[in-house]
Structure 1
């Protein structure tokens, strides 16, 4: 079987459906997908798309991943926590399984760094067939990128030829607010402009709602009237893997929410931060998938050249590693300091993670996994929540803790 990982669930689902369609097979048979809470694969499946986190969980039950002959790590430039751990794990697996083929794919990869890490692996470049994308910058920095994004959507709808719009914003609240305001502004214009379908996209949206981004733009409200337009307002979930037919215009304010962890006070938070140049290129590329497009960057060209980092900072260097350490311990990796991370995390971050796990009773004083730790590692949750769930029957509060854990965890 061939496994192909994607960093996001919506990408794993949409890419697998597209491949099944191209191969003229039923999804879930020869081509399938596996994401959290949903496994659409069978004994017939030969090509399976899954999130990087799902492959990591499969490795906990089958450390050599013997069911797979080929593993493709797609969108490797995103450097998610799970992908970085998979790099180190698969590098070890390859030593014990010379028959396994590993393919690392990306559109904006630091190729030399990856080649060095994987012991001089061969590099193959596949030329893309992107259409040209015209880039526009603002003359002055925008005071309020949300208002600027809404204003740009309205201007495009009034002045530009037919074509759908993709707007990048940072989170659910901001996106829902923007959708309401865009609908209100355009509806107030009446029949002088075409109808719009404004569609939100973020990770906690139910899968059925996420699929609405693939629906066509509305028809003109009257015969011979102005064309309808679809407007997708999304987090960086739409930055990679997804091709939304009809997107001609991209609006990029230059921000996304990124996880930041302070090991000293043990607090992890999501902060709105500037994106990298690699992310900006990916966003612009969304406009040129099916026809020539335009990308409106709501920041100056000087900011792009001087202020944005070349690549996205790896998640492993800015995250709480307690769950990662628990996973590695479950996989039998005890020497964490010498585990082959592509970008090793700070020793202090690892020490704090070990301290937390010892305090929770998941590790003993020698750093070995306890029976409680074995059970906790089975949950795709932060260790604190896993511990709460495991011991809740003792305190006769399982129903309450289940509800609290469901509310606190990312769906």
Structure 2
């Protein structure tokens, strides 16, 4: 390519008749001229222009006269060798009345059909019927609690209701990065925002927010950082805290700060949303906030209990939460050994893959490969994910019916998004995940869920004075959330790798993180004012304990270690 010579304003086209036939102007404004041109022989360019003119004349003749002979082939070759394919002169006999159907017409019709289906799907969501109730409650109260059952569409529809009602900018928090990014993309599609300008996401290391963005999906930590920089949150009219039932440390901090902010900004609005929520407690905390309950839209889910057999089942029933590993001389443990003795052997502390392997075999034998249906497996942590992927890989390679995909907060965002890819025909996805996929994440095609009933939580260690990730049983609310993943897009089955008695013994809700971790690190004075250390920690985008380590590291020369520890703090 080469630079082209400038031409005077109002230059006429080379073929005025062709320009008129194409609906082009007879002159152009030089401001819109491209600074480059194609290098091609003039005779070839002229031949191409004549060919276009000839084809257009042939199509016009065919459309007007209803005869394809005068126009040659229907595909516009004009050589008289018509093959009967293609469309000319509309859909009716004789070709009168219509225009030529081009691939652009077909694509446009397909896009219109998709948009109509999308609009119909949105209208069918239970949340659509509660738009007036939510907006009416917000008009009368600064804070509103929305308790929507799984599948009601609250996470995608409520933000769009708010923007359509005239609110300038809405922030929607999610507990994890992948939830924020996937929801932003889904809402952008529903809002016909092809360029992602009106709907964006803002997570650590990634942001698609622009000046004209009106709906911002972000993690709780990001909004907390924005509060530190702008205590008034002047960029937002409405803040939506989604999945507040998880009660992370950042969730409770946001609840306290936003309650105080509502007193300073009477025009601001706050929505608290979750599927499993203690509505009365949250409503009381915000001075008797109104509650809007939305029923869910789950497809039928068959519940199957599959407790491990033998020693593994006995270990799982221990009240101290000992791991249910191995059993009967399986890998990693001696035959007949007790759970307490194995807990001292790190090599034996491995997940038993046998129930999950049997589950893959059961699905292959009971469900035809022509029927789509992926499997979502919930385990406690990354070690379990690695162990299961290693143990199930030979069967997946042998049958060529499964692709194993890990999913946890430590993965890069691109690796996490692989779970949304559609597998080839006859192949199923086995997504092995921590509780990252428990809420706010809909993976199309998931028909089966396997729940280990286990999760890791940060627990304060009295002996060391620090915190540690400890494995334990989940709550019944979390178990129900995991079960609901099987019925989001169609009928499904949930396999619980524990007994019904164990489910009944679980606590109703998970304990808030603020009640499980140590908060006293010297950041606050006795009067609850920020100390100089606290002021420094508020400026660091890491966990406060790691931030204190960074501050001490500047004195003792171990800052690199503190930074390495801080990278994982906000990767969810």
TM-score by length of 2: 0.59
Match of 2:177 among 9, 16, 23: 9
Partner of 1:153: 360
**Is the 8 Å Cα contact of residues 306 and 498 (structure 2) preserved in structure 1?**
yes
Q: CA separation in 2, counterparts of 1:80 and 1:382?
A: 13
Partner of 1:308: 506
1:187 aligns with 2:397: yes
Q: CA separation in 1, counterparts of 2:526 and 2:279?
A: 41
Partner of 2:445: 246
Rg larger in structure: 2
Partner of 2:138: none
1:210 aligns with 2:416: yes
**Is the 8 Å Cα contact of residues 33 and 39 (structure 1) preserved in structure 2?**
yes
* 1:4-403 to 2 correspondences below 5 Å: 4-26=172-194, 28-138=196-306, 142=313, 143-144=324-325, 146-147=352-353, 148-161=355-368, 162=371, 163-188=373-398, 190=399, 195-219=401-425, 227-263=426-462, 265-305=464-504, 307-321=505-519, 353=520, 356-357=521-522, 368-390=529-551, 397=557, 401-402=559-560
**Is the 8 Å Cα contact of residues 17 and 27 (structure 1) preserved in structure 2?**
no
**Is the 8 Å Cα contact of residues 149 and 253 (structure 1) preserved in structure 2?**
no
**Secondary structure of 1:88 counterpart:** helix
Query: Relative CO higher for 1 or 2, CA cutoff 8 Å, sep ≥ 6?
Result: 1
Aligned residue pairs total 359
Partner of 1:332: none
Shift of 1:384: 4.8
Q: CA separation in 1, counterparts of 2:562 and 2:256?
A: 34
Q: CA separation in 1, counterparts of 2:529 and 2:276?
A: 39
**Cα distance change, pair 385–80 in 1 and its aligned pair in 2 (3 A):** closer
Shift of 1:89: 1.2
**Cα distance change, pair 87–228 in 1 and its aligned pair in 2 (3 A):** same
**Is the 8 Å Cα contact of residues 307 and 496 (structure 2) preserved in structure 1?**
no
Q: CA separation in 1, counterparts of 2:454 and 2:294?
A: 29
Q: CA separation in 2, counterparts of 1:320 and 1:283?
A: 29
**Cα distance change, pair 120–74 in 1 and its aligned pair in 2 (3 A):** same
**Is the 8 Å Cα contact of residues 408 and 433 (structure 2) preserved in structure 1?**
yes
TM-score by length of 1: 0.81
Shift of 1:153: 2.8
Show CA shifts across 1:53-111 (max 9, x none): 11111111111212111111101111111111111111111112111111111111111
**Secondary structure of 2:267 counterpart:** coil
Q: CA separation in 2, counterparts of 1:370 and 1:119?
A: 31
**Secondary structure of 2:232 counterpart:** coil
Structure 2: unaligned runs, 5 residues or longer: 1-168, 314-323, 326-350
Structure 1: unaligned runs, 5 residues or longer: 220-226, 322-352
